[in-house]
């Protein structure tokens, strides 16, 4: 099995999700993805795996897998809307100055890797491993401005 095939399989196994192992003896060319994991890649539950990544806050992994399987996920799927590039519109309104929060992120991001953080000014007001838990913590507090919420990959 080539290195590219092993890295492809590793993409699915990084987070402890059971994936059928590839046949040990069969050699598969990169152009022949059929049979790589003991069945058709078109039948692999990409959407379920993407939802699992999203549920556990692994947004970057969900985006990577979605890009890999974009043609195999129905266009009308909610995943297409959720993972689509953001829509923006120009506005003359100015947001508040968040430079203190961004400075905190630059200085402290490695300490909180994999965490969701909420910042007000240059101060951490809450952190958690999931967005849901972070929002529960934020509901218990009162802040002078809305916290900046960010996930640190």
Q: In this structure, what DSSP letter does residue 2 have?
A: -
- pLDDT score for 83: 84
Q: 53-57, 85-89, 145-149: which has the highest mean pLDDT? A: 145-149
Task: Report CA-CA distances (Å) from 121 to 102, 105, 137, 144.
Answer: 9, 11, 18, 10
Residues comprising the chain, all counted: 153
- Judge whether 109 lies within some domain: yes
Do 8 and 75 belong to one domain?
Answer: yes
Q: Which strand ranges, in their side-by-side order, compose the sheet holding 148-151? A: 123-128, 116-120, 148-151
- Judge whether 122 lies within some domain: yes
The answer to whether residue 141 scores a pLDDT higher than 80 is: yes
Do 106 and 49 belong to one domain?
Answer: no
Segment (H or E) for 118: strand 116-120
The residue range of the domain holding 65 is 3-82
The answer to whether residue 53 scores a pLDDT higher than 50 is: yes
- pLDDT score for 57: 87
Tally the domains of the chain: 2
pTM: predicted TM-score of the whole model, two decimal places: 0.44
- Judge whether 92 lies within some domain: no
Do 65 and 126 belong to one domain?
Answer: no
Which burial class, exposed, middle or buried, applies to 37 when counting CB atoms under 10 A from its CB (0-12, 13-18, 19+)? buried
């Amino acid at each position: 099995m080539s290195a590219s095939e092993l890295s492809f399989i590793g993409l699915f196994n990084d987070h402890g999700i059971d994936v059928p192992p590839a046949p040990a003896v069969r050699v598969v060319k990169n152009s022949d993805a059929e049979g790589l994991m003991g069945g058709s890649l078109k039948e692999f539950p990409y959407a379920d795996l993407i939802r699992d990544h999203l549920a556990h806050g692994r947004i970057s992994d969900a985006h990577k897998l979605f890009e890999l399987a974009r043609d195999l996920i129905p266009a009308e799927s909610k995943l297409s809307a959720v993972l689509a590039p953001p829509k923006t519109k120009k506005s003359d309104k100015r947001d508040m100055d968040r430079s203190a929060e961004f400075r905190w992120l630059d200085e402290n991001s490695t300490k909180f890797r994999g965490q969701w953080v909420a910042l007000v000014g240059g101060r951490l007001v809450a952190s958690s491993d999931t967005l849901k838990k972070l929002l529960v913590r934020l509901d218990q507090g009162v802040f002078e401005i809305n916290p900046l919420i960010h996930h640190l990959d």
